[in-house]
Structure 1
Amino acid sequence: MLTFEQKLAVIESFPELTRKDVSMKRVNFHYEESLYDKKIVVYHLHPNGNGFVYVGNLPQYQADDKGFVNIRDFSETELRSIVADAVDYLSLEPEPPYDKTWTNRDNIKLDLVYEEPFWNIYTGKNLEESFGTFSDAEDYLIDQGFKEPK
């Protein structure tokens, strides 16, 4: 486990983050250029080593209901990676809306809809399948004989 000072050194190596000292010797780091209302990347980093990083709904992390991951036992590599992912998450434009009807040769129609964070396939109003990526949903539809609309 990294010490408080080691965690600070890793986090402070991200020049895009702004340090904000808060109560009880805890420290927050904000990403002021965030494209969203959310600006806190590191939340309540405490001298005892506890702290949280905001990852929203990134699928590679087990975040709490508010989108935070506890970094108490993170290595330097893990900490550097999660902070970089958090900054990327807050700096990327959201996926554009996707809602297209795919059709097979029998003229059966399925709707592929992006509903963050999932790609859902509907038969009418009924959910048929759900995927984590567009590629997986597309592969499924093609395997089932459907073609993407032009």
Structure 2
Amino acid sequence: MTTELEATDRRILELLSADGRMSFTDLGRATGLSTSAVHQRVKRLEQRGLILGYGATVNHDAIGLPLTAFISIRPIDPSQPDDSPERLKDLPEIESCWSVAGDESYILKIRVATPVDLEALLARVRAAANVSTRTTIVLSTPYESRPVVGGEEPARRT
């Protein structure tokens, strides 16, 4: 499903993705709209499902979770139901779960304190979902969760 957007709405999404706490007044200044007009547009973007929520960017090192890794999982028995996300939903170390095409079925983004914690989590993932795993440990993060880039509407296929 594609959603057509006016340039002003795209700009609002770009600004809010960079700073979800930006005030309606500041959004108005940046877009040339009144505060009430911006408020109405943001409310409409939320109602249309284009803004799904607002969140904080957490310093994971400072809260004791410096190790980030990606765990690719593949079912040991492909004839079993594809319910890995449901089986893994209660593991708090899993920050994100993506269904992917390729050799694996899902990729999990996880955050833990130590390699020992990662090893224990891998055992829990394997046992809970009956999967094999392949793990990639993040060494550094030059950037993450980049803001939406504005610009033109993508070209349509005809």
Calculate the TM-score normalised by the size of structure 1. Answer: 0.21
RCO (CA 8 Å, sep 6+): is it higher in 1 or 2? 2
Query: Whose strand proportion is higher, 1 or 2?
Result: 1
Calculate the TM-score normalised by the size of structure 2. Answer: 0.21
